[in-house]
Amino acid sequence: METFIYVNKKINIDDTLFEVVETKGKGHPDNICDTLSEKISATYSQYCLKHYGVILRHMIDKLSIIGGGSKVKFGGGEMIAPIKVLVNGRFTDRFKNEKIDYMSIITKTIKDYFKELFPLLNIEKYLEIVDNTHHNEGPGVVYNDKDTTKNERKKFFEVVNKTDFSRHNNHFRCNDTSTTVSYYPMSELEKTVLEIEMTLNSKEYKNKYPWTGNDIKIMGMRKDKKIEITACVPLISLYVKNIDDYINKLNLIKKDIYNIILNHFTNNPIEIFLNTRDNYKNNDMYMTLIGSAVESGDEGAVGRGNRSRGVIPFSRHFSMEASCGKNPVYHTGKLFTALGDQISKMIYDKYNLENIVYCTSRMGDSIQNPWNISIELNQEITNEIKEEINNLVIKQLNKHYEITKKIINQAIKVNNY
């Protein structure tokens, strides 16, 4: 495979006249789904590596959440209906004579994360985990009078004998025809939006202001030099006495957001909007019992949250691949997202070239030799540097299983800021 490298002499993203960026915080239902699917995949993968020496086939990239019900009042409130996590996906549930109790792994992972996110939630009473998993192999097995046992799709999600094991232990082939898009560097607005969310959702900030919930959404806009930020930040009702107290607490948050923006934009007009739907006359405020709208009917699904850089970059090219929860070994929507991100950053760090990396796979291709990798650069380069970049890409493709293990290790720790 030879990398296709081409030049598009566009202006730097920071010099454009308009940019808009969003990020969804770790308590947002969509982000919860992304994180849970990643953690479930990682813990299952670690279990398989420990017990069998191989990551067995699985996918949990369709996990979703149905919001619960709550009644909120100043100084407290109560839950009135449970939050439901719909575990939609497929797992290998058998290794030779052993049944794999993957639902116990999943249940513990979900409960542990909900305890971390929502210490005020009684998870035994108001968290319901719904098992929608199955083991159907998917299309590809055509039955006839001849033996079909050589078809790798048959018994795709179980290991009964050595032949099955070899299939699971040798699946370095692309599972899908798909495209991922990566870029580097991040723009100042992207970094600003991400820093606001990560600061407000950090352990340090929660210790300082325990009344700050974590279902935070930040939308940032740059119109030439002007910076506009709209933030939705829930307050936890237990710590809010009345409307005046609510307003005063929002003002403290607004000041902190302003100071974060100044770290990135020192000479720009700045305008901040906070909880714009609030209507104090009608007692309509972004105040929650546990810190997230997931307590009161808000649904979530994998793939509707942030892209791999932690933001939703509307002013850029980006992939719609829902990488979270995909198998980290051979699901190209996941693996090539990580590979592309790494390649893109390496190109920028070494050559100071703003770039976009497109990775396109065809189902059945070798991961080390995908259909296409194309790299868009914003300036001309020598043939020597082109060759160096091509060698860099090949080297990273050959190290894909190291990236798989890195994905697993990072997912275990994800969102613990």
> For 274-288, what is the mean pLDDT?
96
Does some domain include residue 282?
Answer: yes
In a domain, residue 316? The reply is yes
The answer to whether residues 297 and 314 belong to one domain is no
Provide mean pLDDT across the span 387-405: 94
Nearest to 356 by CA among 186, 191, 193: 186
Dump pLDDT digits (tens) for 157-211. Answer: 777 777 677 666 656 888 899 999 999 999 999 999 999 999 999 999 999 999 9
Q: Are residues 85 and 147 in the same domain?
A: yes
Report the domain count for the chain.
3
**Mean pLDDT to the nearest integer, 63-72:** 98
> What value does the mean pLDDT take over residues 23-28?
97
Both 156 and 35 in a single domain?
Answer: yes
Q: Could you tell me if 143 and 53 lie in one domain?
A: yes
Same domain (yes/no): 288, 315 = no
In a domain, 108, yes or no: yes
Calculate mean pLDDT across residues 80-100: 94
pLDDT at 136: 81
Distance CA 195, CA 214 (A): 14
Asked which of 279, 301, 323 is the last residue of a domain, the reply is 301
Residue 171 lies in a domain: no
> Would 336 be classed as within a structural domain?
yes
Q: What is the pLDDT at residue 7?
A: 93
Q: With helix as H, strand as E and coil as C, how does 190-259 read?
A: HHHHHHHHHHHCCHHHHHHCCCECCCCEEEEEEECCEEEEEEECCEEHHHCCCHHHHHHHHHHHHHHHHH
Instruction: Tell me the per-residue pLDDT of 228-259, one tens digit each, with 9 for 90 and over.
Output: 999 999 999 999 999 999 999 999 999 999 99
Burial (CB < 10 A; 0-12, 13-18, 19+), residue 280, is exposed
Both 283 and 366 in a single domain? no
The CA–CA distances, whole Å, from 301 to 84, 174, 231 equal 12, 24, 21
Contacts of 227 (CB under 8 A, 6+ apart): 189, 192, 220, 221, 261, 265, 268, 269, 270, 271
Average pLDDT over residues 79-101: 94
* Last residue in a domain, options 301, 328, 347: 301
Return the minimum-mean-pLDDT range out of 28-42, 235-249, 276-290, 309-323.
Answer: 309-323
Higher pLDDT, 345 or 415: 345
Bond prior to 82 in cis (omega within 30° of 0): no
Look up residue 224 and give its amino acid: D
Smallest Cα–Cα separation from 272: which of 232, 312, 235? 232
Contact present, 5 and 375 (Cβ < 8 Å) = yes
Q: Which helix (H) or strand (E) holds 60?
A: none
The mean per-residue pLDDT over the stretch 4-33 comes to 94
State whether the Cα torsion 286-291-292-295 is positive or negative: negative
Q: What is the average pLDDT value for the chain, to the nearest integer?
A: 92
> What pLDDT, on the 0 to 100 scale, is given for residue 417?
46
- Whether 111 is in a domain gets the answer yes
Judge if 294 and 238 occupy the same domain. Answer: yes
Tell me the CATH number at 125: 3.30.300.10
Which domain covers residue 371, as residue numbers? 4-12+177-185+310-413
What average pLDDT score do residues 43-70 get?
94
- CATH code where residue 404 lies: 3.30.300.280
User: Which three-class secondary structure state does DSSP give residue 14?
Assistant: helix
pLDDT bin (cut points 50, 70, 90) of residue 414 is low
Based on the fold, state whether residues 262 and 127 are members of the same structural domain: no
49 in the same domain as 155? yes
Q: Are residues 181 and 316 in the same domain?
A: yes
Domain containing residue 254: CATH number: 3.30.300.340
What phi, psi does 94 have (nearest 5°)?
-145, 130
Residues 236 and 268 in one domain: yes
Q: Does 159 lie in the same domain as 45?
A: yes
Burial class (CB in 10 A: 0-12, 13-18, 19+), 404: buried
Residue 172 covered by a domain:
no
108-124 pLDDT tens trace: 999 999 999 999 999 99
Q: Which of 166, 200, 216 is the last residue of a domain?
A: 166
For residue 258, the Cα-to-chain-centroid distance in whole angstroms is 27
Higher pLDDT, residue 49 or 160 = 49
pLDDT at 366 over 70: yes
pLDDT over threshold 80, residue 349 = yes
